Amino acid sequence: MDVQVTNEKQGALNMAVGALIGILALLLYLFLGSRNETLEVQKLLTSKVEQFASTQLKLDSISTVLDQKIVEVRKLGGNVAELERIRRQLATDKKRLKYDLSFSIQKYTLKIRDYKNFLALHEADVLKLKDENGSLRSRTRALEEEKETILSENEGLKHEKAELAKTVVDYSLQNADLANKITMASAMKAVNVETVAVSANGKERRGGSYKASRIDRLKVTFIMPSNPVATKENKEIYLRLLDANGAVVSESGVGGILLYEGHELGYSIRQTVPFENNDQRVDIFFRRDGVYKPGTYTAELYSEGLRIGGGRFDVK
C-alpha cells in the first residue's frame, strides 16, 4: 500500500515538472520572437532615420548653392526672379520634410534630382553672363577714357562722343538681354518632335517621307519635359505647318494669328494641353481637305510667345 502511494506521488511530481518545463519553453519562444521583431523594427527605424538625415543634408546643400547663385546673379545684374521662386519652393519642401509622417525616400530623390537639374541648367548661362559682364566693364572703361580724351581735345567731336555713348547703351542692352535668357531657360520645350502621316483607315506611317495620297491627317507628336519651376496648368500650343514655299498650311476657320518676338505669325491649329510636368507626350492632329503638294514641309511649335520646337518631313 505504501509503495502504491509513493508511486502516485512520484508520478504527480513528474507531471508537474513536465508542465513547468513546457511553460518555460513557451515563455522562452515568445521572448525570442518578440526580441527578433523588436530588432527588425529597430533596423527599419534606423534605415528611415539615415534616409531622412541624408535627404535633409542634400536639401540643405542645394539650398546653400541656390543662395550663392542668387547673390552671384544679382551682383552680375541678372534676373533672379526664377531663382528666388525655386528657393521658396525648396524652403517649403524642407519644412514639409520635418513633419512628413509618410516620408518616402523615392519621392524626395526625384525632387532632389529636379533641383540639381535646374541648377545645372542655369550654370552655363551664369558663366556666359560673367564673361559678358567682364567684357562690358572693360569696354565701358575704355570708352569712358576715350570719351574724356575727346572732350578735352576738341569740343567739335560731339557727334563721335554721342556714338560712343550709344555703344555703351548697346552693350548694356545686350547684358540685360543675356540676363533675360536665364529666365527663358525655365520656359517650356518640345523635344523628340515627329510628324506622322495617318491614312483614312487610321494606319500611321513614320519615317519622315510620305506619299500625298496616303495622308488623311497629320499627327505631330512630341515630349514636354518636366521643369521644377513650371506650374501645372493648361498651356496653349500653336502648330505652324509650312509648305515648301514657306506658306502656312491651314483650313478656313481653323488657324489664326499668334505673336512672336513682336511679329504676327499665322498658325495652322491651336490646342489646349493640360501641362502635368511629368515628361508627358502630346499629340496634335491636323486635317486639311486639299491634297499636299510634293516638297519639304516644316512643323513649328509655339507656346507662351516662344518657339518651343519643330521638325521637318517630305511629301512625295
CA distance 147 to 313: 55
Distances (CA, A) of 181 to 65, 67, 125, 131, 190: 20, 20, 7, 14, 18
- Please report, to the nearest 10 degrees, the dihedral formed by the alpha carbons of residues 7, 9, 12, 14 taken in order: -70
pLDDT of 229 strictly over 80: yes
Determine the residue type at 210. Y
Do 199 and 293 lie in one domain? The reply is: yes
The pLDDT > 90 percentage for the chain reads 36
Report the pLDDT averaged over residues 53-73: 85
For cell 519615317, the residue is 207
- Residue 115 inside a domain? The answer is no
- Residue 118 inside a domain? The answer is no
- Residue 117 inside a domain? The answer is no
Task: Provide the number of structural domains found in the chain.
Answer: 3
Do 229 and 169 lie in one domain? The reply is: no
Neighbours of 180 (CB within 10 A): 10
- Residue 278 inside a domain? The answer is yes
- In which domain, by residue range, is 276 found? 191-315
Do 237 and 290 lie in one domain? The reply is: yes
The pLDDT tens digits for 83-119 are 888 888 888 887 877 776 566 778 888 888 888 888 8
Do 195 and 180 lie in one domain? The reply is: no
Rg (CA), the chain: 36
- Characterize the bridge pairing of strands 263-267 and 256-260: antiparallel
Report the pLDDT averaged over residues 235-256: 90
pLDDT number for residue 44: 55
pLDDT band at 183 (very low <50, low <70, confident <90, very high): very low
- Residue 218 inside a domain? The answer is yes
Do 20 and 65 lie in one domain? The reply is: yes
The pLDDT tens digits for 250-275 are 887 678 999 999 999 999 999 999 99
The pLDDT tens digits for 268-315 are 999 999 999 999 999 999 998 888 999 999 999 999 999 999 999 999
Do 203 and 305 lie in one domain? The reply is: yes
Do 201 and 217 lie in one domain? The reply is: yes
Determine the residue type at 191. V
Domain closes at, from 110, 144, 163 = 110
pLDDT of 201 strictly over 90: yes
The DSSP letter of residue 279 is -
Do 152 and 244 lie in one domain? The reply is: no
The CATH number that applies at residue 286 is 2.60.40.1930
- Residue 298 inside a domain? The answer is yes
pTM above 0.85, yes or no: no
pLDDT number for residue 169: 67
Average pLDDT for the chain? 80
- Please report, to the nearest 10 degrees, the dihedral formed by the alpha carbons of residues 97, 99, 100, 106 taken in order: 20
Do 242 and 200 lie in one domain? The reply is: yes
- Residue 53 inside a domain? The answer is yes
- Residue 116 inside a domain? The answer is no
pLDDT band at 179 (very low <50, low <70, confident <90, very high): very low
